[in-house]
Amino acid sequence: MTGAHAIAQAVREKRISAAQVTDDCLAALAAEGGSLCAVTRIMADRARAEAAAVDAAIAAGRDPGPLAGVPYGVKDLFDVAGLPTTAGSRLYADAPPAIEDAEAIRRLRAAGAVLVASLNMDEFAYGFATINALHGTTRNPHDPARLAGGSSGGSAAAVAAGLLPFALGSDTNGSIRVPASLTGLYGLKPTHGALPIAGVFPFADSFDDIGPFAGSLADMVTIWAVLRQRSVQDDDPPLRIARLGGRFAENIDPDQRAAIDAIAPDAPVVTLPAIARARSAAFLITACEGGRLHREALGRDAMLFDPQVRDRLIAGALLPDGLYEEAQAFRAAFRAAVLEVIAPYDVLIAPATPCVAPPIADPRIRIDGAMTAARADLGIHTQPISFTGFPSLSVPLYRPGRLPLGLQLIGKPGGEPALFRLAATLEQQGLTGVTPPDRSGDIA
């Protein structure tokens, strides 16, 4: 399937109907979505009704919106009217249906987009791997024997496989940026609170954000503008770029290091204070808020939880309030210190993940010389950024014939336009860009 811009233009120009685009997408999802364990529900009736509304608007001479007839999917924690919001768990498979759509879905529908599916995730978004006890483990389209990352892995896999032009995920500690890196897409964790979270099943309110996956930067910018309900405005001054050092220069793939050298060879290296402590505090806050959220259900239906998720939620629910409050106080001080350090710069560059996607058969990665669980540690470079609430755009390195890898472009609060501008420059220079999965055989 082609990108969102191309589809919308073709639909507006009546070269193809939104109904035909939708039918083609539904057929592709039915044929291929299952093998990737990317799709949890296909919403054929709703999708056809939304597509018909787009075609009717065009026939009546009305503007159908910038995403006219563009099909998309959402991570399985967005409210969809008439369906239970499961958050990837059998615990809520038979929950009462949502009364109305999540606000993000409402905005996309108003822009002409067509919702076709919900997509796989780690249960309750607690993990970086999309290993789901109910729906299965999502596979990476670039190598189905490898993880797609998580917790928004179904969203990433569906877009990377060409089944959808874009999809929505959520990012608490890296759940968009990690799978974007491992599947070779653009993935945005926005400034905390900038995009509408209403109608999205929470994980940890302190960090939760929604954001899109897209196969091109142009599509990413359009989707962001629709969700943000404002155009991208950037004064176009010269960008001031720095590289993140310290822990961000460790546990890094050599190709990522080489790409950063090529992008910003003369940029200063900035070291953020107390990164290890920040990540520990992020773990603690996440566990505590998640545990509190699920405490009642754990007491009532503990055996319905994914065992790995259940144990971490129980541990979080038992954390003392004083420790949580101490972590939040540290977070405020850390954020202020980081803002002071990065004040002279517009964009910071860092790796998005420490490595390429690990194999499903042995889902471990090497961190500090030791093998650790990918489900917990693929977010080693994303979690400290979530802790600040700053925006971060995962951009795919252009590496045809090789497994995907991404970098993070990190901005100050409200700094998404600067991230998009640098990403556009890198795409024009051929340093970054989406590479479709190689269907000819194994890749390195």
Q: What is the pLDDT of residues 282-325, one digit of tens each?
A: 999 999 999 999 999 999 999 999 998 999 999 999 999 999 99
> Could you give the maximum distance between any two Cα atoms of the chain, in Å?
63
What is the structure's pLDDT at 34? Answer: 85
**Pairing mode, strands 209-214 and 166-171:** antiparallel
Q: For residues 380 and 252, what is the distance between their CA atoms, to the nearest angstrom?
A: 10
Residue 441: its pLDDT value, please?
45
State residue 439's pLDDT score: 64
Where the chain has pLDDT below 70, the residues are 234-235, 439-444
Q: Which of 75, 155, 206, 216 is catalytic?
A: 75
Q: At which residue do the structure tokens 């998404």 appear? A: 416
Q: Is 166 exposed, middle or buried (0-12, 13-18, 19+ CB in 10 A)?
A: buried
Handedness of CA 191, 193, 199, 203 (dihedral sign): positive
Burial of 96 (0-12, 13-18, 19+ CB in 10 A): exposed
Helix (H, G, I), strand (E, B) or coil at 348: strand
Catalytic one of 152, 155, 170, 175: 175
Closest CA to 246 of 357, 409, 346, 380: 380
The string of pLDDT tens digits covering residues 209-240 is: 999 999 999 999 999 999 999 887 766 788 99
Position 231 scores a pLDDT of 82
- For 119-131, b/e burial (b = at least 16 CB within 10 A) is bbbbbbbbbbbbb
Q: How many whole angstroms separate alpha carbon 253 and alpha carbon 151?
A: 22
Residue among 249, 245, 283, 261 at smallest CA distance from 368: 249
As given in the structure block, the two tokens for residue 409 are 């472009």
Contact 69, 7 (CB under 8 A): yes
Query: Quick one: tokens of 201?
Result: 């099943």
Amino acid at 343: A
| Spatial separation of the C-alpha atoms in residues 421 and 426, rounded to whole Å | 9
Catalytic residue among 17, 151, 216, 392: 151
Distance CA 112, CA 8 (A): 9
- Sign, CA dihedral 99-222-189-312, equals positive
Q: Is 175 in the active site? A: yes
Select from 272, 268, 228 the least CA-distant residue to 417: 228
Contact at 8 Å (CB) between 1 and 165?
Answer: yes
Q: Is 231 a catalytic residue?
A: no
The domain over range 4-228 is classified in CATH as 3.90.1300.10: yes
Told to judge if 151 belongs to the known catalytic residues of this protein, a careful annotator would answer yes
Task: Tell me what pLDDT residue 237 has.
Answer: 82
Q: Give the β-pairing of 347-351 and 269-270.
A: unpaired
The residue among 304, 301, 288, 309 whose CA lies nearest residue 376 is 309
| Structure confidence at residue 443 (pLDDT) | 42
Domain with CATH 3.90.1300.10 in the chain: 4-228, 243-428
Phi then psi for 140, rounded to 5 degrees?
Answer: -85, 125
Q: For 243-428, which CATH superfamily applies?
A: Amidase signature (AS) domain (3.90.1300.10)
Task: List the one residue out of 395, 425, 423 whose CA is nearest residue 407.
Answer: 395
